[in-house]
Amino acid sequence: MEVLAARLAIDALFDNEYDILFFLWSKATCRAQRGKGDIPPFCCDIYHSSRRCLFSIVRCRAPANSSVYLLPYKTWPMKFTLLLVFITALCYPASTQQVADKQVITLPIKTGAEQTELYLPYLKGKRVAMMANPTTIIGNKHLVDSLRTLGVQIVKVFGPEHGFRGNKSAGESLDDEIDPATGIPLISLYGKKNKPSKEDLADVDVLLYDLQDVGVRFYTNINALSRLMEACAENGKELLILDRPNPNGYLVDGPVLDMKYKSGIGMFPIPMSHGLTVAEFAQMANGEGWLKDKVKCPLRIVKVANYNHDMPYTLPVKPSPNLNTQQSIMLYPSTCMFEGVYINHGRGTYSPFAVLGSPDYKGIYAFSFTPTGIKGMAENPIFKDTVCYGLDLRNYDVSLLRKSKQINLQWIMELYKANPHKEKFFEHLSNQMNSIEVQVGNGEFRQQIINGVSEKDIRASWEPGLSQYKAMRKKYLLYN
């Protein structure tokens, strides 16, 4: 690599005819940014910063009638920049790791929001509305505050479930208000209405969506996104999506939703764990005609940098009140199905989705916990103020889920088998429950558990729908 960098740098500095070679080297630099090359990442930063700040792209004709884009680098500023790239290539130690005798550059994941240079020019001079919550951040600062500091005009913010500040319980209706910190109107889309109206968008030039998702069908952010897309399509607005990693992006599993069980926690024919980022889902919703009247939303996407779906990703802030730990987030695809059975799944504790139990398991399991009312998390959980016995998954090795690439079915099979009052297990005995059909998304699962059907056969019943979804998903992937 050092020899190639030296040759290209020296040739360019002395006005040789290596224009095309320099272009190819810059493309290799781009590949290094994506972790596919062997050029130090600092060189990439220098090259691209120089390109953005000093020059505009000029269209040229390369030999053999091929069309390429080149920079006018034969000027003293670019000569200096290229020399700096050359020196850096020789001297700067790239962060690497050895994998199967291949050197792989490891670069930090950068969310769409963090790459302000890619979207700030687009927002300048426009009236911007955002869908945002506490996950809408750059570093430790909320994106609303960051963009206002950078001169972007934020005219309103739309709030999803749990609200803009993230302090509302699951399912709690929200009202419109004025944000006391900024004076910006906050429009609730989880209350009297679930989609922006024509009046809401009358003073808006562009909408921006930046919410952290966790990759499961019953997490309602993708539903809010689809309605925002419909509103944009109906009112001639473009939607800018600042993409974020899916912490469960490795997992594509579960039955595809039978649309006769369509609900507020399942609106699209996707599996329980869909393996998409929000931008990939948006492309899928457009491409598959899932929006109302099959409208198409004009999309502009800022991708996550240095990311693929198999990468572990620890969320910097909790995405919602009851996903308050990384453990809960990783268990969520497997334990959220317990919202469809008469068991407390940790609501009313500070370990939601990581503890499972009921009073019926006394004498069967030694582990116990007592759900209580917790404002902003669960004011009235199942078995409130009653000792529950069951499974403690707070220290479960979630890497096992990653290795299997499957939702865990053993926990629900075990708890049904151990329950002394099986007739109550799936009964809708609390307003904190959904039916298991709505939760899981098909009509067979209840009877399969009751009949003791093997996990292998349960999984077989999800086909061919799951395999068909996986094939369709490939069309919309932005990341490997």
The predicted pLDDT at position 168 comes to 52
The predicted pLDDT at position 429 comes to 87
Average pLDDT, integer, range 322-349: 97
Distance in angstroms (rounded) separating the CA atoms of residues 324 and 317: 8
pLDDT of residue 447 exceeding 60, the answer is yes
The predicted pLDDT at position 24 comes to 36
Distance in angstroms (rounded) separating the CA atoms of residues 73 and 51: 9
Q: With contact defined as beta carbons under 8 Å apart, do 109 and 305 qualify?
A: yes
List, in sequence order, every beta strand (DSSP E) within 88-136.
96-99, 102-105, 127-131
Average pLDDT, integer, range 46-61: 39
Average pLDDT, the chain: 83
Instruction: Give pTM, 2 decimals.
Output: 0.78
Distance in angstroms (rounded) separating the CA atoms of residues 446 and 464: 20
Cα-Cα-Cα-Cα dihedral sign, residues 125, 127, 129, 132:
positive
**DSSP code of 357?**
E
Task: Give buried/exposed letters for 443-462 (b at 16+ CB in 10 A, else e).
Answer: eebbebbeeebeeeebbeeb
The predicted pLDDT at position 38 comes to 39
The predicted pLDDT at position 163 comes to 61
pLDDT of residue 13 exceeding 90, the answer is no
The percentage of residues in the chain with a pLDDT greater than 90, rounded to a whole number, is: 70
> H or E stretch including 208?
strand 206-209
pLDDT of residue 111 exceeding 50, the answer is yes
**DSSP code of 259?**
G
pLDDT digits (tens, 9 = 90+) for 203-250: 999 999 999 999 999 999 999 999 999 999 999 999 999 999 999 999
pLDDT band at residue 2 using 50, 70 and 90 as cut-offs: very low
Q: What is the CA radius of gyration of the chain?
A: 26
Distance in angstroms (rounded) separating the CA atoms of residues 265 and 466: 19
pLDDT band at residue 460 using 50, 70 and 90 as cut-offs: very high
CATH superfamily of 116-312: Uncharacterised protein PF07075, DUF1343 (3.40.50.12170)
pLDDT of residue 296 exceeding 60, the answer is yes
List, in sequence order, every beta strand (DSSP E) within 325-435.
355-358, 368-369, 388-392
Q: With contact defined as beta carbons under 8 Å apart, do 462 and 254 qualify?
A: yes
- Out of 178-182, 212-216, 328-332, least confident range: 178-182
Average pLDDT, integer, range 162-167: 60
The predicted pLDDT at position 182 comes to 87
The predicted pLDDT at position 165 comes to 63
The predicted pLDDT at position 104 comes to 60
Average pLDDT, integer, range 293-316: 97
Q: Which residue has the higher pLDDT, 455 or 33?
A: 455
Q: Which residue has the higher pLDDT, 96 or 176?
A: 176
- Please choose, from the candidates 384, 391, 383, 387, the residue with its C-alpha nearest in 3D space to the C-alpha of residue 369: 387
Structure tokens at 314: 């620890």
Average pLDDT, integer, range 94-106: 50
Whether the bond into 319 is cis, omega within 30 of 0: no
- Out of 57-71, 310-324, 384-398, 429-443, least confident range: 57-71
3-class secondary-structure state, position 49: helix
Q: List the domain boundaries for the chain.
A: 2-105, 116-312, 326-443
- Any residues with CB less than 8 A from the CB of 149 and at least 6 apart, and which? none
- Out of 88-97, 331-340, 387-396, least confident range: 88-97
pLDDT digits (tens, 9 = 90+) for 393-445: 999 999 999 999 999 999 999 999 999 999 999 998 888 899 999 999 999 99
